[in-house]
Chain A
Amino acid sequence: MQEIYLDNGATTRPSDGVIAKMTEAMAQAYGNPSSLHRKGQQAEKYVEEARKIIAQYLGVDPTTLYFTSGGTECSNTAILGAAQRNLRRGKHILTVRGEHPATSEPLKLLASQGYEVEYVENDEQGKVCLESLKEKLRPDTILVTCLHVNNETGVIQPIEAMGKIIKEGNPETLFHVDAVQSFAKLPVKPVEWKVDFLSSSAHKFHGPKGIGCLYIRRGLTVQPFIRGGGQEKKMRSGTENVPGIAGMGQAVKEAMEDLQGHTQQVQHLKMHLYQQIINKIPDVKVNGPTPEDGAAHVLNLQFLNVRSEVLLHSLEDYGIFISSGSACASNKPEEKSPALSAIGLNRNEMDQSVRFSFSRYNTMEEMDQTAEALAKVVPMLRRYVRRNR
């Protein structure tokens, strides 16, 4: 059966170029970049080449980039590092509802240690209310942290405007942006946007799993929390994941070949699928931003009276892979689906929400097939709902 992979928000298929690059790095550049001999130097070249490519994409100096094991490690390093660094200055942190656990869990830890974690208000699409940010910013605010693009709903936060408000309000406040869902998909400009930390992860844009890159503004120092051989300028000890790094560099390079073109192409896919779904199937609602507004690769929909997990498995029979926002077994839906909870969905609404997420490797034909499959499956599933609920 042909596979139609529409779960690119979860992870993506590594591109052929990435696989080739990594194979090359594994087979040939197997040296340790810290070794003094030629073999080590050869491996180091792969690392530095990737760093340069990423620096070019972000418009930053390569020395401000640190390779990590992925998005979660980036965000943990930034958030916990920022908190520790400012122990004496304050304990107030601002964030947004519906954040990824890579952010909300370290914040939960800090809250348990006496930090005050406060939420900036958001609108019904999940977008940050800038007025609220301005109001809540205090002299003792040490950190503002949020997603650039929400992984569940695709809402895009006004990072540039936020950066301006934060630095005008309190130049000491650090700004962390989790750009895992926007990196190599949208223009990301940490310097212009006054961002201090920026997290990314390669496997969300056709790179490999287990590798990410943390941007730390030049001149800003934080404590590393992995200690050892002092790699990555002592920020991240442990022998460099050379094939992973090379793969990440290659993935960014391929994305940059036509960043805008890819975004437009993916947006077309999304609109095409969305149009067909609402033409063919009644009682479908969009969660979060309108399809025109949100990130091109995310579409979160509610199919009334259809359990998301059952829909997911039904589509599997057609070789179509999507994501269900929440698992019905969970008693705490706000944990399974923080972003949907943040825009006010109740448990029942979350249980019938699914996410389609696209990549430049999807095709219009796949969108047609998906819409057709949905048109077959959804009415069938709607016949069977729990009667006396």
Chain B
Amino acid sequence: MHNGLLVKYGEIAIKGNNRHQFENLLIRNIKEKLAKVGTYKVSKEQGRIFIEPENGSSIDDIIAPLQKVFGIIGLCPASVFTDDSMESICEQTIAHLKEDYGENPAPVTFKVEARRANKKYPLNSLQIAAEVGSKILEAFPNWSVDVHHPQVTVWTELRNRVYVFSKVIPGLGGMPVSSHNKAALLLSGGIDSPVAGWMIAKRGVELCAIYFHAHPYTTDRAKDKVVELARRVSEYSGRINLYVVPFTDIQLDIYDRCPQDQLTIIMRRIMMRISEKIAEKEGAMALITGENLGQVASQTLQSMYCTNEVCTMPVYRPLIGFDKQEIVEIAQKIDTFETSILPYEDCCTIFVAKHPETKPKLESIKKSETHLTDIEAAIEKAVNDSEIIKLRLGEVLE
């Protein structure tokens, strides 16, 4: 019976001295995730993490949640037992394989990989493998052995107990998210920005998110949609503080005082400045945007040159070279797509020029910005008046 789950993690196992830190982080993230499902014992042993259900919890319930934890490359449902006689090992192995592949499985090639920690065991690894293999052939006459390129590998490991497993369910890969690495994501209601945030989080980075709300020009449903997107990303990335920045006053001021075709670029520059301030407040080391080259007027090289110029913090744009379809595929995979395409778009077009500048000149933009009324104070006010919505592992707190 599958009564344990072996967690495989690739990348972090090769991290030299940092390895322990990474392992501990991954274990902590796994424990946090599992706490919401049931009672599980998580232990670390020799380059692997082993999970055992307790108090009637089930292994099946935690596969999907663990597939949302960065740092895991594979999950192997395992049978664990104490009786290490060859008879018991063979019997349990056959039962395990029947559970994985069915009572009458289709023909496959296989090999058995055996290991023993207990060197006093009467058989050595090869002998154990041969013995188990022959019993498998007896049980599944249509299976055949291929030690070089097997379709199925059956692992039999003798430690203090015996572990049998063969199926590997793929995990997400990436690195375990750490609160020591934080970046601030500019989150709109669109398809791109949640994907950008997810991609950076995948590299072990915790996120905070920033959304610019222009009430009454944008609907509160658009805000709810952004909260929902952040919630979905937080299923992977853990903790997210979402800042809802009141942006109407600044937008109206830009509208009043700046040339029409520069509205978007000046707006983006101020958004970056506000985001940098929030990022500093949150202890983040970078900004993340969902920009990709050439998609809209504000995402040309010239425009990004101008928007980037306002901040000193690094700005990461993980989608910069992606095509729309590639982004959509990830959005579908991480379950943000359906929310992103809800029709609560930014309803207002008054801040968007019919023909926005696609090749803005920095000097000209800077000159226009001098007409704004005390923009420093306005930025400070927007940062301070932001509403903070706390999300944690797929839940909106409070």
Residue positions of A touching B, CB distance < 8 A: 307, 309-314, 316-317, 327-329, 384-389
Most chain-B Cβ atoms within 10 A of its Cβ — which of A309, A314, A316, A386? A386
**A310 touches which one: B216, B220, B343, B345 (CB < 8 A)?**
B216
Question: Bound complex: CA of A317 vs CA of B219, how far in Å?
Answer: 12
Query: Is B388 in contact with chain A by the CB < 8 A criterion?
Result: no
- Are A328 and B354 neighbours in the complex by a CB distance under 8 Å? no
- Whether the pair A310, B348 counts as a contact (CB closer than 8 A) is yes
With A309-B347, A329-B345 as known contacts, state yes or no: A388 contacts B215, CB within 8 Å: no
14 contacts between A and B (CB under 8 A): A307-B347, A307-B350, A310-B347, A312-B216, A313-B215, A313-B220, A316-B216, A317-B215, A317-B216, A329-B347, A386-B349, A387-B353, A388-B355, A389-B354
Query: Residue on A with the closest CB to B259?
Result: A387
Q: Do B347 and A328 touch (CB < 8 A)? A: yes
Q: Does the CB pair A310–B260 fall under 8 Å?
A: no
Tell me if B343 and A307 are in contact (CB < 8 A). no
Q: Is the Cβ of B349 less than 8 Å from the Cβ of A388?
A: no
Measured CB to CB, the nearest residue on chain B to A330 is B343
The 10 nearest A-B residue pairs measured at CB: A313-B216, A314-B216, A386-B350, A309-B347, A329-B345, A388-B354, A387-B260, A384-B350, A310-B216, A328-B347
> What residues of A have a CB within 8 angstroms of the CB of B215 in the complex?
313, 317
Cα distance A317–B215 in the bound complex, in angstroms: 9
- With A and B bound together, what is the CA distance between A388 and B355 in angstroms? 9
Cα(A143)–Cα(B306), bound, Å: 64
Please name the residue on chain B nearest to A387 by beta carbon. Answer: B260
Taking CB atoms, residues of chain A closer than 8 Å to B343 are 327, 329
How far, in angstroms, from A314 to B350 measured CA to CA in the complex? Answer: 15
Could you tell me the distance in whole angstroms from the C-beta of A3 to the nearest C-beta in chain B? Answer: 16
Per the bound structure, the CA–CA distance linking A328 and B353 in Å amounts to 16
**Alpha-carbon distance between A328 and B219 when the two chains are bound, in angstroms:** 12
On whether the beta carbons of B349 and A384 are closer than 8 Å, the reply is no
Q: Is B121 an interface residue (CB 8 A)?
A: no
Closest Cβ of chain A: how far from B368's Cβ, in Å? 15
- Give the distance in Å from the alpha carbon of A317 to the alpha carbon of B246 in the complex: 14
Q: Given A313-B215, A313-B216, A385 and B347 touching (CB < 8 A)?
A: no
| B217 interface residue (CB < 8 Å to A) | yes
User: A327 to B219, alpha carbons, bound, how many Å?
Assistant: 11
User: Shortest beta-carbon distance, A72 to chain B, in Å?
Assistant: 21
Contact, CB under 8 Å: A328 / B349: yes
Tell me which residues across on chain A come within 8 A of B350, comparing CB atoms: 307, 384-386
Q: In the complex the two chains form, what is the Cα distance from A386 to B264 in whole Å? A: 13
Is B255 located at the chain interface by the 8 A CB criterion?
A: yes
Nearest A residue to B355, CB-CB: A388
Of all chain B residues, the one with the shortest Cβ separation from A380 is B252
Residues of chain B contacted by A314 (CB below 8 angstroms): 216
A384 touches B255 (CB 8 A): yes
Chain B positions 330 through 370: 1 when the CB is less than 8 Å from some CB of chain A, otherwise 0: 00000000000001010111101111000000000000000
- Could you mark each residue 119-137 of chain B with 1 if its beta carbon is under 8 Å from any beta carbon of chain A, else 0? 0000000000000000000
Query: Are B354 and A309 neighbours in the complex by a CB distance under 8 Å?
Result: no
What separation, in Å, do the CA atoms of A389 and B354 have in the docked complex? 7
With CB as the reference atom, state the residue of chain A lying closest to B252.
A384
Question: Which B residues are in CB contact (< 8 Å) with A311?
Answer: 216
Given contacts A310-B347, A327-B347, A328-B349, contact A388 B260 (CB under 8 A): yes
Which of A316, A327, A387, A388: most chain B CB closer than 10 A?
Answer: A387
Query: Closest CB of chain B to A321's CB: distance in Å?
Result: 13
- Chain B residues with Cβ below 8 Å from A317 are 215-216
User: In residues 250-284 of chain B, which contact A (Cβ within 8 Å)?
Assistant: 252, 255, 260
- State in angstroms the CA–CA spacing of A349 and B230 once bound together: 36
Taken together as a complex, chains A and B put the C-alpha atoms of A309 and B344 apart, in Å, by 11
Are A309 and B260 within 8 A (Cβ)?
A: no
User: In whole angstroms, how far apart are the Cα atoms of A248 and B219 in the complex?
Assistant: 33
Tell me, rounded to whole Å, the shortest Cβ–Cβ distance linking B258 to chain A: 11
Known: A310-B216, A311-B216, A316-B216. 9 other contacts (CB 8 A): A307-B347, A307-B348, A309-B347, A310-B347, A317-B215, A384-B252, A386-B349, A386-B350, A386-B354
Smallest CB–CB gap between A152 and chain B, Å? Answer: 20
Task: Name the B residues within 8 Å of A328 (CB-CB).
Answer: 347, 349
Give A203 Cβ to nearest chain B Cβ, in Å: 22
Using CB atoms, name the residue of chain A closest to B217. A310
Q: Which residues of B contact A327 (CB under 8 A)?
A: 343, 347
The interface residues of chain A lying within 8 Å CB-to-CB of B352 are 386
